Amino acid sequence: MKKISVDHLARVEGSGGISVTIDGKVVTDVKFSIFEGPRLVERLTLGKTPEEDVNIVPRICAICSISHKYAAIRAMENALSVKVPSKVVQFRELMHLGEMIESHSLHLYYLALPDYVGFPNAIAMASEYELEVKIALEMKGFGNHIMKTASGRYIHGENPVIGGFGKFPSKEELIWIKNRAIQFMPFVLKTTELFCKLDYPDTPEDDTIYACCNPGQKKYGFAGDEIILSTGEIIEKEDYKNLTNEFLVSHSYAKRSRYKGEPYSVGSLARINNLGERLKGKAGKMYKKYFNHRWEKNPLFNNAAQAIEILYAFERIPKIIDKMLKLPDPPIVKYTKKEGKGTGIVEAPRGLLIHSYEVSDGFVSFTDIITPTAQNAEDIERYCCIAAQKLLNSGEEDKIRDRMELVVRAFDPCISCSAHMAEVKKAPEEDWKTKLDKIMKEGSPIFIGVGNRNRSDDGAGIELALELRKHGIKDILLESEINEREAPWKNRNYRPLVFLDAVDFREKPGKVTLVPIHYIFSNSALSHRLLPFISDEMNYERLKNSFVLGVQPKSIIEGKKISRPVRQALTRVLELIVN
Give the containing element (helix H, strand E) for 16: strand 16-23
Size of site (CB under 8 A) for another protein: 67
Strand ranges in 397-511 using DSSP code E only, listed in sequence order: 422-426, 446-449, 476-478, 497-502
**Residue 209 interacting with another protein (CB under 8 A):** no
* 180 belongs to the binding site for another protein (CB under 8 A): no
Nearer to another protein, 37 or 216 (CB): 37
Please state the closest distance from residue 406 (CB atom) to another protein, in A: 12
Measured in whole angstroms, the distance separating CA 449 from the mean position of its chain's CA atoms is: 35
Q: Does residue 36 bind another protein (CB under 8 A)?
A: yes
Please state the closest distance from residue 122 (CB atom) to another protein, in A.
Answer: 8
Q: Which of residues 169 and 516 has its CB atom nearest to another protein in the complex?
A: 169
**Looking at the DSSP assignment, which residues form a beta bridge with residue 449?**
478, 500
Q: Which of 13, 358, 467, 479 binds another protein (CB under 8 A)?
A: 13
* Pick 33 or 389: Cβ nearer another protein: 33
DSSP code for 487: -
Q: Which amino acid is at 522?
A: S
Query: Is 42 among the residues that bind another protein (CB under 8 A)?
Result: yes
* Segment holding 28, helix H or strand E: strand 26-34
Dihedral of the CA atoms 406, 410, 415, 416 (nearest 10)? -30
- Residue 532 touching another protein (CB under 8 A): no
Nearer to another protein, 315 or 378 (CB): 378
Contact 499, 548 (CB under 8 A): yes
Which of 136-144, 423-431, 522-530, 540-548 is the region at the interface with another protein (rule: CB under 8 A)?
A: 136-144
Contact range with another protein by CB under 8 A, out of 160-168, 441-449, 507-515, 541-549: 160-168
Rg (CA), the chain: 27
Q: Name the nearest CA neighbour of 282 among 373, 180, 186.
A: 186
Cβ density class 319-348: b for 16+ within 10 Å, e for less: ebbebbeeeeebeebebeeeebebbbbbbb
Exactly one of 1, 38, 173, 434 binds another protein (CB under 8 A); that residue is 38
Q: Which of residues 196, 324, 415, 460 is near another protein by CB under 8 A?
A: 415
Our finding on whether 183 is near another protein (CB under 8 A) is: no
Strands 340-348 and 351-360: antiparallel
Q: Is 338 in the site for another protein (CB under 8 A)?
A: no
Asked if residues 461 and 499 have their Cβ atoms less than 8 Å apart, the reply is yes
169 binds another protein (CB under 8 A): no
414 binds another protein (CB under 8 A): yes
Q: Which of residues 59-98 bind another protein (CB under 8 A)?
A: 59-63, 65
Q: Note whether 154 binds another protein by CB under 8 A.
A: yes
Q: Which of 390, 410, 409 is nearest to 400 (CA)?
A: 390
Using CB under 8 A as the binding rule, the residues of this chain from 111 to 130 that contact another protein are 114, 120-124, 126
Select the residue interacting with another protein from 67, 90, 144, 545 (CB under 8 A).
144
Helix, coil or strand: residue 556: coil
Find the part of the chain contacting another protein (CB under 8 A) among 2-10, 268-276, 315-323, 523-531: 2-10
- What are the beta bridge partners of residue 564? none
Q: How many CB atoms are located within 10 Å of the residue 439 CB? A: 18
Q: Which residues of 8-46 are buried (b: 16+ CB within 10 A; e: fewer)?
A: bbbbbbbebbbbbbbbeebbbbbbbbbebeeeebbeebb
Tell me the DSSP string of 71-114: HHHHHHHHHTT----HHHHHHHHHHHHHHHHHHHHIIIIIIIHH
Please, what is the minimum distance in Å from the beta carbon of residue 77 to another protein? 17
**Preceding omega of 204 cis (within 30 degrees of 0):** yes
159 makes contact with another protein (CB under 8 A): yes
Whole-number minimum distance, CB 17 to another protein, in Å?
A: 9
- Report in angstroms how near the CB of residue 114 gets to another protein at its nearest: 8
- Of residues 417, 303, 127, 304, the one with CA closest to residue 119: 127
- Judged by CB under 8 A, the residue of 8, 87, 258, 554 near another protein is 8
Q: Of 40, 466, 574, 576, which one interacts with another protein (CB under 8 A)?
A: 40
Beta carbon of residue 31, minimum distance to another protein (angstroms, whole number): 8
- Does the protein bind another protein through residue 52 (CB under 8 A)? yes
- Strand pairing class (164-165; 160-161): antiparallel
Q: How many residues does the chain have?
A: 579
How crowded is residue 505: how many other Cβ atoms within 10 Å of its Cβ? 17
Q: Does 460 bind another protein (CB under 8 A)?
A: no
If one asks whether residue 37 binds another protein (CB under 8 A), the answer comes out as yes
Q: Which is nearer to another protein, 286 or 410 (CB)?
A: 410
Among 28, 55, 230, 535, binds another protein (CB under 8 A): 55
Judged by CB under 8 A, the chain residues 232 through 261 that form the site for another protein are 248, 250-253
Residue 35 is a binding residue for another protein (CB under 8 A): yes
Residue nearer to another protein on the CB measure, 140 or 528: 140
Q: Which of 1, 81, 153, 289 binds another protein (CB under 8 A)?
A: 153
Q: How many CA atoms lie within 13 A of 277 on its CB side?
A: 5
Binder of another protein out of 23, 25, 156, 452 (CB under 8 A)? 156
Taking CB under 8 A as the rule, does residue 14 contact another protein?
yes
β-strand partners of 10 = none
Sequence letter at residue 341: K
Q: Does 204 bind another protein (CB under 8 A)?
A: no
**440 binds another protein, rule: CB under 8 A:** no
Tell me which residues touch another protein (CB under 8 A).
Answer: 4, 7-9, 13-15, 33, 35-44, 47-49, 52, 55-56, 58-63, 65, 106, 110, 114, 120-124, 126, 137-138, 140-141, 144, 152-159, 161, 165-167, 248, 250-253, 414-416, 419-420
